[in-house]
Each structure stands twice: as structure tokens, then as C-alpha cells.
Amino acid sequence: MASRVSHRVGACVPVPVAEPCRRTHRDRWLRRRLLQRRLHDGAALRISALTLRLGLLEHRAQPDGQTVQACIGELQDELHAVLEELRHIAAQIYPPLLDQAGLGPALREVAAARQVPVAVTASEERFGPAAEGAAYFAVTQCMAALPAAAESMKVVVCRENDALMLSISGIEDFCAVFVDDQARPLGGTVEVVTGNPPGSCTIIARIPCE
């Protein structure tokens, strides 16, 4: 039978966070989103355009200019590698799909790459970059901690009054630390509901949102 656990991480009461501190953390998420956009819309697009120009140059090279064509091919490979690295860095800062489409599509994209089945149920509404960023990284950290023997994981995202309500089921209770680290700086609360078998639980977070 499930039971509710109340402790430092699993407390249901609001965590006292001063408004200036909360604003600081919200501004941090805004800066992360803006930096991701600069990488995606600036450097990444310029590298993509340069790769295309090199491709045109390769086709225009003289038939006997095999050395030039080989050099261009090597440069294109290097640029593709740099572009992939930029995209990876941008995703670690603030995933482009999260910015563009919201939590549901962004979490489903990550879930599709997991060996353990992860079911994501999320409303289409938006909650603001800070709440969405905190929820996204809380869930992905829990996903990364899933043991290979885990059967499944379930994620539910919806609005509850003025908060983003995040429920994560089928994980071990130590994952509450990951969720707490993301939710608490924004004034959120985290609740742990233990289940059966022992160690399996549901973590419920409520994060103030826009």
C-alpha cells in the first residue's frame, strides 16, 4: 500500500525562498534560453551556410582538381562535427525543442531514446522558461538514473492553479534529490509517495509558473 513520506526532500509544505532569490533563478533560466538561441540562430546557422557554400565550391572545382575536392570534403566533415557539438551544447543549456514546442514534445524526444519504456502525458499549454526548464532537467536526470532492469517510468505534466504539477512514477526514491534541486530554488515543493516494491516511488513536484 502506498504511503506518503514527509522529510527534507519529500516535504509537502512550501519551501521558503526569498523573492529576490526566486527572481535570480528565473533570470538564470531566461539567460540559458537566450544563450541557446544565440548558438542555434547564430553560430550554428553560419556553420550550416558555410557547409553549403563549400559544397557548391566542390561541384565547381575543375575535374582534375582532385586535391582541392578532397580538402573541401575534409573541411565539410570537420564543420559537420563542430555543428553537432554546438547542437549538443545548446541542448545541455536549454533544449531547442523545449523552447519551441514545450515540455511534452521535448520529454518525448528524450524518452524515445531510452531503453526503459517512458510514458509522457503532458498538456500543450506553456508554463514559462524557468518552470519548464526546471521540470525538463528534473525528469531527464531521473531518466538517466533508471537502472537497466527497470520496467517502466511514467511522467505527467499539467497545471495546478499557478503551478506546474510534475508527477514522476516508477523511479527510486533517491531521485527526489534531483527534483528538489530543480524545484526548490523557484519556490517549489516536492512530495514523495512510496510504493511497492520497496524503493519504487512517485515524486510529485509543484513549481510556480507563469
The domain spans of the chain are: 3-18+102-208, 32-93
Residue-level pLDDT at 61: 64
Residue of 210 and 161 predicted with greater confidence: 161
Residue-level pLDDT at 109: 94
Residue-level pLDDT at 90: 77
Mean pLDDT confidence for 146-174: 92
Distances (CA, A) of 34 to 28, 30, 39: 10, 6, 9
Residue of 187 and 33 predicted with greater confidence: 187
- Confidence check: pLDDT of 9 > 90: no
Question: Which one of 3.40.50.620, 3.40.470.10, 3.30.565.10, 3.40.50.300 gives the CATH number of domain 3-18+102-208?
Answer: 3.30.565.10
For 15, the 3-state DSSP assignment is coil
Give the C-alpha separation, 159 to 202, whole Å: 18
pTM: 0.73
- Residue 102's pLDDT band (cuts 50, 70, 90): very high
Give the C-alpha separation, 205 to 148, whole Å: 25
- Confidence check: pLDDT of 132 > 80: yes
DSSP single-letter state for residue 186: G
H helix runs in 61-188, sequence order: 66-93, 96-101, 103-112, 129-144, 176-183
- Confidence check: pLDDT of 174 > 50: yes
Residue of 73 and 199 predicted with greater confidence: 73
